[in-house]
Amino acid sequence: MIHIKENRLKEAVQLSTQIPEFENLYESVEFQKRLKVKHLILTANFQEKPVGFKIGYERDDDGSFYSWMGGVLPKFRKQCVAEKLADYQERWASENGYNFIRIKTRKKHKAMIAFSLKRGFRFTGEIPKIPDKETRIWMEKTL
């Protein structure tokens, strides 16, 4: 059974180094810089071992919560870990007064885009990059 825990930044950072899609890893200082505002750090645990994480924070002062980054270890994908993390984050954001959640991903991350669309996110913009697969995609979901 998957258990979601809050405020375990060290575990989340450690997990981020094990997600194959993450090419340019953030240093701890970047996490600290972004998390000076209201934030939520989640880890998903299976048999007390962290297997996934999701981090978000209040990026803009417009009623939105920014779901900054997250991932699930490849061995634990397709086991509803990402869904449980997203459900928790969305419930928390709604309970804390946020009206919608924003994400930014890259065009090459097809699974993330499909996952987000399935959860009710819609496209709101893009930031073109070369090569095109690096184009950033903005998505948003009303809570």
Residue 27 has a pLDDT of: 85
In a domain, 131, yes or no: no
Residue 138 has a pLDDT of: 98
Q: In sequence order, which residues have a C-beta less than 8 Å from that of residue 61 and are 6 or more positions away?
A: none
In a domain, 53, yes or no: yes
pTM, rounded to two decimals: 0.94
Element (H, E) at 103: strand 100-106
CA distances from 109 to 96, 113, 134 (A): 29, 6, 9
In a domain, 20, yes or no: yes
**What is the domain range of residue 69?**
2-103
Question: Beta strand pairing status for 2-6 and 39-46?
Answer: antiparallel
In a domain, 132, yes or no: no
Quick one: which of 21, 4, 2, 7 has its CA closest to 109? 21
Confidence tier at 24 by pLDDT (50, 70, 90) = confident
In a domain, 62, yes or no: yes
Q: Is the pLDDT of residue 137 over 90?
A: yes
At 102, list the tokens: 């924003």
CB atoms within 10 A of CB 28: 10
In a domain, 16, yes or no: yes
**Mean pLDDT in residue range 91-106:** 97
In a domain, 116, yes or no: no
Residue 91 has a pLDDT of: 98
Q: Is the pLDDT of residue 28 over 90?
A: no
Q: Write the CATH number for 83.
A: 3.40.630.30
Q: In sequence order, which residues have a C-beta less than 8 Å from that of residue 113 and are 6 or more positions away?
A: 105, 107, 137, 139
Q: In sequence order, which residues have a C-beta less than 8 Å from that of residue 48 and are 6 or more positions away?
A: none
**How many domains, the chain?**
1
How high does pLDDT run on average in the chain? 96
In percent, the amount of the chain with pLDDT more than 90 equals 95
Task: Please write the tens of the pLDDT for every residue from 63-94.
Answer: 999 999 999 999 999 999 999 999 999 999 99
In a domain, 117, yes or no: no
